[in-house]
Amino acid sequence: MKRLLLTLTAFVAVLTTFAENKFDEDWAASFTPVSDSIELKGVHTAAAADGSVYVSSTYNQAFTFAGKEIADPEGLTSAVIVKYDGNGKELWAVNMVGNAVVYALDTDADGTLYAAGNFMDKVEYTGTDGAKAELAGSAEAYTAFIARISADGKFQQVKTLASLANAEVAASMMYFPMAGDVYVTPKKIQVDGDKVYVSANYTGDVAELAWKGSYINVFDAMYMDNRNVGLFAMNKVDFSGTKNIATVQNTETISNLQSYPEAFDFMVDNGTVYAGFIGTGKLTLTTVAGTEEFSFVTTDDGCMEHAFVLATIGASTTIKTYNAVAHDKLYTPYNLFMNADGENLIIGGTFYGELPLDNQKTTGELASDVFMASVKKADGTVNSTFVSGKESEATCMTIDNESAILSASIGEVYLMSLQSGEYTTQGAPAYACIDACGAATKASVYCTEGKVCVNGSFNAAHSIEEIIRPVQPQNGLIYNLAGQVVNENYKGIVIKNGMKYLQR
């Protein structure tokens, strides 16, 4: 009898552990937009404070969503964005017919959606009101688009950014680009106050932002495009006032050595931009404050230093470099994710060799590993770091009010407590994207056999008003929707003495 009780106790413990390791979800849904999983691209999600969840993907066949048939794009791999409510009910779908992909999503306090991606040639997009419009680009180059879509699915604003090969390089008789070699590909979009911030990989020259291309000289026989990274901002209402924030690129416009930022991400908090990148060789960071050049170690036997650089860009720019020992692990891809939590930045991603943020941690014999780190905004001091110790790559990262959440390719999710710094592990799919809106909404999305699978969790008791309720509402201070203290210069919705206001 005693043995039976022990066995039952162990069984209950296993069930309890399994339940605790299940990633938060109140509902699950899916749709099948492609005929073959290889056609799935641009799968991302964004969570809104009212519990609604947006998901983007590509599609190449007809499918039905919210009672509406999305027509077959007739041989094209096109982009679609769908919306669920806080209970997982299908609300609407909008599409962009053409060779198009959505690479980033974000929402503002009103649930307005901001989407960024790119397309080739031309795209026709249609909102829930049936209004159609066309974007014209190039049949040889990828053009970026940024779209503002209302909470009920109407396209309110769409902007494009195009790139062209440098005129002198194009005329050199040494430049032979393939279709798609010239591109602007957005990687992240974030709304902060009354601004929208977008980062992008690009080649060639982007005239509107004064971004310049860089090129590789291949044995004095031909020039090839070198990848660069840029970050810009614009007014969120009408996409006017486009302003360059930063670029990272090869120091030499035409070089015999290829150098480029291997990974880049950013986070904006109350107008201050935190931009981080991993890079090798000779790179130049250009911001409103000027330029900063970096020269990372490359040894004679081919080992390379992969350092991490953190730039804080406000009225002035401060830069901190985290060095690492050069290594011969030339695997790709490096990636980075950044979020803000009060006085700290949460940084995560994939690394190889020595972790720049903590040189005591390495991948050892592993080809790659994932990491998370907490870093002080004020001076870049590293508070804590975590590595999994397993062969894996990071797929996405977000934070809610309690944890930093990192998904890994081996089917595990790592959670770091924002209060204690402690880490826990949960079994879960390798998510294509995860997002959270404070304590109110979590959303995650993964792909399997051509199907886009969506999980959502909504706590109505922690809607916009409730998120800030624990923060002494009658003390006269001003808070943003994340519960952080701000001042009168903050732009956007704020809470003062328990009431919401719009500061312009």
Decide: 83 and 91 in contact? Cβ < 8 Å.
yes
CA–CA dist 120, 185 (Å, integer): 11
Q: What are phi and psi of 388, to 5 degrees?
A: -80, -30
3-state class of 2 per DSSP? helix
Q: What is the reported pLDDT for 269?
A: 95
Strands 214-218, 254-255: pairing kind: parallel
Q: What pLDDT does residue 302 have?
A: 83
Q: Cis before residue 333, ω within 30 degrees of 0?
A: yes
- Mean pLDDT for 88-115 is 97
- pTM score of the predicted model: 0.88
**402-445 tens-digit pLDDT:** 999 999 999 999 999 998 889 999 999 999 999 999 888 999 99
- Segment 86-96 shows an average pLDDT of 97
d(CA 186, CA 190): 11
Strands (E), 449-503: 451-458, 478-479, 485-486, 492-496, 499-503
Q: Give the C-alpha separation, 340 to 169, whole Å.
A: 41
Which pLDDT tens digit goes with each residue over 22-59?
Answer: 467 899 999 999 999 999 999 999 999 999 999 999 99
Per-residue model confidence as pLDDT tens digits over 389-405: 999 999 999 999 899 99
If you average pLDDT over residues 240-255, what whole number do you get?
96
Q: Which of 168, 161, 159 is nearest to 182 (CA)?
A: 161
Q: How confident is the model at residue 230 (pLDDT cuts 50, 70, 90)?
A: very high
Structure tokens at 475: 């003390």
- Structure tokens, 372: 């998370």
Give yes or no for a contact between 482 and 492, defined as CB atoms under 8 angstroms apart: no
Full DSSP string of 342-360: TTEEEEEEEE-SEETTEEE
What is the rounded (10 degree) CA torsion for 480, 484, 489, 495? 40
Q: Which of 431, 385, 437 is nearest to 412 (CA)?
A: 431
Give the pLDDT of residue 3: 40
How far apart, in Å, are the Cα atoms of 409 and each of 337, 369, 486? 15, 10, 37
Q: How do residues 460-473 score in pLDDT, each as one tens digit?
A: 776 544 444 344 44
**pLDDT tier, 504 (very low <50, low <70, confident <90, very high otherwise):** low
Phi and psi angles of residue 16, each rounded to the nearest 5 degrees, phi first: -65, -45
Residue 438 · residue 482 · CB < 8 Å: yes
pLDDT per residue over 310-364, tens digit each? 999 988 899 999 999 998 876 667 899 999 999 999 999 999 999 999 999 999 8
**Are the CB atoms for 376 and 394 separated by under 8 Å?**
no
Rounded to the nearest integer, the mean pLDDT of the chain is 89
Burial of 124 (0-12, 13-18, 19+ CB in 10 A): middle
Average pLDDT over residues 102-110: 96
Rg (alpha carbons) of the chain, rounded to whole number: 23
